[in-house]
Each structure stands twice: as C-alpha cells, then as structure tokens.
Structure 1
Amino acid sequence: MKKQYSIGTKALILYMASLLLTGFVLTALVALLVNYWKKSMLQNAISLAREHGQRVAGEISDIIHKGIEPEMAKLKQNPRVHASIELLLKQNENIVMAALVDERGAMVIRRYQGEERRTSDTAVIEAGGQYTGSLPSAMDDTHLDVILHSRGEKMREMDIPVMIGEKMMGKLQFSVSEDAILNRLSDSSSLITQSLVILLVTLLLILSAAYFLLWRIFSRHVLLIRERDQLDKLAAIGTLASGLAHEIRNPLNSMNINIDVVREELDDPREDSQKKAVELLDSLKREIHHLNQTLSNFMKFALPGKIEKHPTDLAVLVRETLEFVSGEITKKNIKVENSILTACPLLADSTSLKQLLLNLILNAVQAMEQQPRKELRIEVFPEGKFWHLTITDNGAGFGKTDPEKCFEVFYTTRQGGFGFGLPIARQIAEAHGGRLNAENASPAGARFHLIIPK
C-alpha cells in the first residue's frame, strides 16, 4: 500500500530539501568567491612585484646613465645597486630571488630572500640536480655557498630590461613564489571562510525561525479553513435536512388525513363510500410515489455517482435526449430549433451528461406550459478548449427573481415540482470541470448556458 503524506508533512519535506539545497548552493558560492578572491589577490601580488622590479631597474639605469658605473660588470661592487636589490627583497617578501645580468646573460649580482649580503661565490642547485661548475680548492680563499631550492615550489619568473635610451644594458631577473603568496592568503581566506560560514549558519537559523513562524501561521490557516468547510458542510446538511423534512412532512400530513377519511368511509354503510375510499387510496399511492421520488432525487444530489469520462459527442447526446422527450414535445406542440449540425466531440460521462440535458430540456418544456406559442432553441459553439451550449425557451422567465435561485435545492415555482433537477444539472456540469448559468432571455423566457471542456 502506497504511503500517503499529509500536506504538512509534504511542506516540511519540501522545506528541508530547499534548506539543504540553499546550504549547498551558498557553500559552493562561498568556495567560488574565496577561490576568486585568492586568484585576484595572487595577480595583484605579482603585479606589485613587477612594479617594484621596474622601480629598481629604473634606479640601475640612472646609475649607468649618470656615468657612476658605465659598465654592468662594475655594478657588482656598487653599494647603491646592492641596496636597491636588498630593498626590493625587503619590500616584497614574495620575491625569493633577485639577480642582475648583463646583456650577454652573465651574472652580475644575485640575492635571495632572507640572505645576508655575501661577497663569496654562490652556487644554486635545484633539488635532484647537479652543479657542474668547478669547486674551489683548499688553497683558494674563495668559499662556496650552496643553496637548495625545492623543485615543487611554484615560481613566477620575471625579466625587466635595464635600458639606456633604446639600448638594453642588461636585465633585472627575479622569481616570485606563488606558493608563498597563497600561503599568506590562506590565513586570510580561512578567516573569510569562517566568517562566511558563521553568516551562512546565522542565515539558515533565521530561515528556520521564519519557517517555524510561517508554519504556525499556515497550520492555523489550514485549521481555520477546515473548520469553515466543516461549518459550510453542516450548514448545507441543515439546509438539505430542513428542505427534505418540509417535502416529506406535507405528504405525510396529507396521507394521515386521507387514512382517517378512508377509515370513516369504510365505516359508512352508504354505497358510494367504498368508491370514495378507493379514490383516497389512489391519492395515498400518489403521495407515496411523490415521497419516493423526492428521496431518490435527494440521494442523487447528496451522493452523486462517479464521473467516468470517455470520448463522446455532444451533438449526438442532444439528439438522443430530444428523441427521448419527443412524445412530450409533440403532445405540447413545442417548436424545437436545434442548430447543432456538426459533430461536437468531447471527453465526458455520457450518462450523466444526458441527465443534465434532460433536466434542462424538461425544465424548458414545463416553463412553457402556459404559453400559447412554445419555442425551444438549442445552440452550440466552440471557444478555445470548451463547448458552449445554450437552451432557450419563451416561457415566463425569471422575472425579477435572481436566476441563481433556481439552482437552490428544493426551490421550484411549478406545482408538484421537486426542486432537484437544476441543482443536479449544475452539479454534473461542475463535476466535468464546466459551469452552468441561467439568465433571462430577450424578449421573454429563460436561457441556460452550459460551458464544458472538450
């Protein structure tokens, strides 16, 4: 057996799913924002390193241009050049190595981040690599510094030319460690991520509180709707019960009186008393039939049958209904104008729809009983996904009475009427997803307008 969930449970499941989805989306958005911020800051740090390098290259160009040290090779001992390169490394901790080379690529100066100024030779060996230069001998005063760099560290190499006019005198080369930049950003990004997570949790808590309040309001609203529906049902049941009691009480009173009269007639020795008793018994039979019909109509309205739609034709149903009441139409000399000439296919319950048409046509026939000239007009036309059918008579119409009143149970203006035909007709129309309305026709009579899906 398939498990059924209440509206509240479905709403709760939907909310929890939306909450989880919102959390996932916000988490992904936070990750994307942090990643974008890190990339943006990385580019800014690299651009800043390039600006610092360009400034130092400009200072070296000024030294050469002013003739202080006209040759690149002589800059090796120039304290101003060393100071500029050291300042570059101090100002930007992301630069791990800065070097000055001449136009032939020969090394003039090379300095590393955190390295004290050295006058000795330095060899740089990448991890896993080899140093192919000559090592100093024991007799040589020169000592060799070996600096190892991890091959796994990601570097951004930069070359900035040292220019005198249009002539390139050499290059300022330096390496920017992207890993160092990202490591520094990680602390900041962690704080940002933590702040965003706290903000996210706070937002989810606010949403949860808002949902709780909305849920309370929604539950109260649903409860009020159910109570209102229950009151409407009780009111409708009361109206039906009151009408049914009225319809039953009158025949019962009449039957009670007739039974008393029959008893008196049977006690009367006169010859015609038996005949009168038979007439009264016939009247009792008619009253019993009336009661039975009233109860049958009440059951049809109170417990309508299930609508089972299948392909049918509105034009065919109208013709079959007219044929069914043709005897009554002929007897009362009613002129029928049926303008439905083509097929009108639709999905409907043909049995209940014929009941609707029969109730409307009989209502029109009965409404024209006092008219010397009786005319019944039936028309149909399509509009979008609906069929529009009108049944018009030239009877007394509704006059100043609200046409909607004719759809009330037990309301009837005809002697011997039950007041169920038109309410049942509207009930059938609404069960098909359609509408049934009534109005005064011009110049006289009544018109019933049925709108039903195709």
Structure 2
Amino acid sequence: MATIFVIALAASFWLFATLLAEQLSRSYLEDVLLSGRAHAEEIAKTAEGGESVYQVVEQRRESLDKLSDALARQQVVESVQVYDRLGKLVYQTVTNIDGLTGGFAEQATDLMLPTAREKVVETKNEYQIRTPLSDIGTVVVRIPKEALGTRIDDLRRRLLLRAGVAGGVTIAVLMGAVGFIWHLVQRNAELEQRRRFNDELAALGTLAANLAHEIRNPLNALSINLELLEEELADRPAPPEATRLARREISRLARLVNDFLVYARPTPPSLEAVELGPLFEEVADLMRNECERAGIELRLAKLETTAWADRGQLFQVLVNLAQNACQAVSQSPRKVVTLAASADDSSVVLDVTDTGSGIARSDIHRAREAFFSRRKGGTGLGLAIADRIVASHGGTLTLSNQPDGGLRARIVLPRTRAKDV
C-alpha cells in the first residue's frame, strides 16, 4: 500500500512538472518573440528621422550595433536586418561563434522582403519579427527555431530536474512524517496496552492479596495442627502416612500462593552495584543442604565483578533457577548443577546449567509462560517470575538445551544502570 502511494505521488509530481514545463516553454517562446519585437521597434525608432535607409543606418550605426548586441545576448537571435522600401537588404548584424559581426550588405546579397509588414512571420526554420522603419524600410529580427528549441529544451530539463529534486524531498519528508505518525500511533497503542496490562495486574494483585490473606492463615493453622498431631503420634511404631501427605500438600499450596502473590504484584527493582562473588556464595549456602540430600554436586565458577541490580531480586532469580536445575537432575545418573558468570565492557552474563534431560524443543518457547509446567507439583511461576525480574532490570533471560545434555539458563544484565529501568 505504501509503495502504491509513493508511486502515485511521484507520478503526480512528474505530471505536474511536465505540464508546468510545457506552459513555461510556451511562455518563454512568447516572451522571446515579444522581446524581439520590442527591440525591433526600438531599432526602428532609433533609425527615424532620415530620408533614406543608407543615410539613417550610417548616422545611427553605433546605436544599431548596441541594440543588436543586446539582442544577441539573448542567445536566440541570429541576425538583425534592415531592408529599404524596395525590399533590398541594406544592413545586417549576425551572431556567430566569433561574436557579433555585420555591416552594410553587398549588392550581390540583396534579398527581396515579402510585402507583409509589422508582424511575426513563421517559416520552416525561423521566426521573422518585422517592424516598419517609417516609410523608408523595414527592420527584421530573425530567430532560428533550432536555437530557440535548444534553449527551451535546456530550460525544460532544468525545470524537470529541480521539480524531481523538490518532489523527492517532498516525498521523503512526507514519508518521514508518515513514519513518525505511525511510530506515534504504535507508541500510543503500546502505552495503552501497557496501561491496560498494569490495570489488570493491579486488579489481579488486589485479588491475589485477598486470596493470600484468606488462604494463608487457614493453611498455617492446618500445618501447625498437623505438626501437633505428628508429635502426638510420634510414639507409635508407624506414624500415619496421611499426615505426611497432608503436610506436603499444604506446603505446596502455600508455595503456590506465595509465588502467585509475587508474580501478580511485582516490586520495582532498587538498583545498586551488586558483587556477584558473595551473591553466588549465598545461593550455594541456601542450596547446599538440599543438594547434599539429593546427591547433587553444586559447582561455582565465580567472577569477581559487579552487576547493576536489585540484590534481593537477583538472589531470588538465581535461587529459582538453581532449584529448577536441582529438580531437573534428580533422576539423572550424573547430577551436576553449575553457577557461572562472565563479563565484558557492557554486560554481565550469569549461567545456571545442569546435566538433566533438558526441555523438549516443542516446550522450550513456552517454558517462561505463567502456570506452564511439565513437572509434577510445579507451580509454573518460577521461570515467569525470574523472566519478569530480569526484564525489569533491562536484561534478558534465555533458555537453551546444551549439546551434551542438560539445560542452560542464561541471564544477561547491563553492567551499568540501564536507561529504561
């Protein structure tokens, strides 16, 4: 559609320029003929006051040469001729490559002048502008069609070139304006979508807070009562399996409520320079007991550098990714989870890798969606929360399967404060 619009606009400019060139060409032709006639009349007026053409030309020769020179500078007049009353050529000036030449004509070059007087006569090759010289002769200004056509063609080319440049600039400005307006429309639509999304999040956050308040307290009460029940039944040879199952399900529900609350009501990051070495140590300390119980080797490849981030939120992201990695290798013969970091001048890269089975290719693009989980008992919010936190820091979170097996979760954060955060 835009291409058709540009072609139509360019065609309109070209048509307008062509019509304008034709009109100006006609106007230029008329101007040249009128100017030639005016100069011919001025020559005739200059030559008045004599009884014969020869006498007048001899007395006014300097003035005739000046007027002839003025006509020659128009670059279209070929000659100025003066005929006597009998139609014989008496005097002429001719414009050529050597300049303005001429003088009294030789008898052998006498020409017969047609009887038509005081008008423009068009022949095959030229225009003849004829003006009577009192009653003693006629002044003829000759304008060749070839020179006039060359002059008009040159003016037409320059006009079309300038019109083309002006049209191109106009189209470019117009397209720039259309592009800018389109950008504003898209930006406005994006802002409106973001506003609706924020409104929905606010409503969802309010609902989540109310649900968390209504659900968390009964869950806590149930958990406490189950602990008391387990203590009372501790002396029995085989404590009831039902209490353990109930406590596990209550813990899962509590975790789901907490994750949902964090996802529904995100907190803007409070950015600071975070040392990654100590942060990795804290994550390892938190995960160490869980890894030891499951027989998982937790490796740290620390890098003593800093990232511009909210320390608490980045800690939460790393813990979520590390827990996912530990769960992914729980059934793997080789159980290794690695936390590594690297950096360049502009960004810091954090990698959490495991030796599990990875994610199916059909599911990897959905893994960060809220409530999507292939793991039994998973809330489907861990990666969604991590992705949102990383995005709020001006960074990216990508998931990819490793060639030798396992999954790599890569976080890329700016090394300095992000402008859009």
TM-score of the aligned structures, taking structure 1 as reference length: 0.42
TM-score of the aligned structures, taking structure 2 as reference length: 0.45
* Higher Rg: 1
